[in-house]
Structure 1
Amino acid sequence: MVTRPTPIACSALYTGSEPIAQARHLTRRFLAEIQDVHLLPVSDRALHLVELVVSELVTNTRKYAPGPSRLDLEVRDGCVEVGVWDSNPNPPALLPPDPLRIGQQGLGIVIGAARTFGIERGPTGKRITATIPLTDD
């Protein structure tokens, strides 16, 4: 029998009015555990990028999705996969860069920061994923 390593992951369900700060705090605790408990290296760059991606994606769920949302963080293949599910099935719009526009830049920031980015539509919403390498290439 082949044994698989235990996944390094955490999730949180948000039902509406929780501040985005809770998602960032969970992310910081998760990244600290990766280093302190699992002894995996995490660069300062990765710490900041993962927190930024979480902040942008969770903010979008609060602004554009009417119901609950879920944040998933998992270590896979030397990366942190950030997954955010929400109840709005419509994919987010990537607007062209506009230096005069205030706001609505978050999706472009996420795509630029991530090694991979994806959107999966489902019967009850969508899941957006972004992966960030744990260490600098």
Structure 2
Amino acid sequence: MVDRGTGQDRQTVGAGNVLGSAAYDMGSGEIARARGFVRDFLTDARSLHGMAVSARAMDVTQLVVSELATNVCKYAPGPCLLDLEAGDGMLTITMWDTGSVLPTSRQADPTRMGQHGLEIVLAVCESFEVRREPVGKRVRVEISLLDGPQGEPAGPAAW
């Protein structure tokens, strides 16, 4: 499926995992498009493939993709690839961009205006990994799709 110059694809692979990919030329309007892609992906994973996806996971996933896409727009404008893989109660989000500078978290400062995106991502994801690529960098995060008894993410311990 193609959406206004943004290539998007979804498929199911062995072991019941569902994969999705999208390519963007990261301008500010693409942030909402990336957020919508992950929302549609999880909705399809739930309704078409019977995966459990909590309301918390749906919200957190859109927030994380929005923060990652915002960083691409600010620091590495240009092409961006978004890969999603859902299975075994987890969602893996991988975002590649052309920027060579690796993101770093800053010390928490409630008086600082802005630049809290990475802090948010680290707080809500089960894992976070960033690596340089021959061109650009790749950020990979995992989010639990399931909730524990008190509404917290089920699965591996969060940061």
| Aligned residue number for residue 56 of structure 1 | 67
1:23 — aligned with what?
34
Q: If the length of structure 1 is used for normalisation, what is the TM-score?
A: 0.92
Match of 2:157 in 1: none
Q: 1:42 to 1:16 in 2, by over 3 A?
A: closer
Give 2:113's match in structure 1, choosing from 94, 98, 102: 102
Q: Quick one: distance in 1 between partners of 2:51 and 2:99?
A: 35
Structure 1 alignment gaps of length 5 or more = none
After the TM superposition, which segments of 4 or more aligned residues of structure 1 sit over 4 Å from their partners?
none
TM-score by length of structure 2 reads: 0.80
Cα offsets for 1:69-119 (capped at 9, x unmatched): 111111143201111111012101211111111110000100110001100
2:52/2:89 contact within 8 Å kept: no
- Identify the range of structure 1 (16-25 vs 38-47) with the bigger mean alpha-carbon deviation: 16-25
Q: Mind listing any 5+ residue stretches in structure 2 that lack a counterpart?
A: 1-12, 148-153, 155-159
Residue aligning to 2:79:
68
- Whole-Å Cα distance in 2 between the matches of residues 67 and 26 of structure 1? 18
Question: Which residue is equivalent to 2:44?
Answer: 33
Report whether the alignment pairs 1:8 with 2:18. Answer: yes
AA in 2 matched with 1:103: G
The CA RMSD over aligned residues, in Å, is: 1.5
What is the identity, as a one-letter code, of the residue corresponding to 1:126? K
Contact 1:58 1:71 in 2 (8 A): no
Number of the residue aligned with 2:135: 124
1:16 CA drift (Å) = 3.1
Q: Could you tell me the percent identity over the aligned residues?
A: 41
8 Å Cα contact 1:46-1:135 kept in structure 2: yes
Alignment correspondent of 2:93: 82
Q: Name the SS for the 2:15 alignment partner.
A: coil
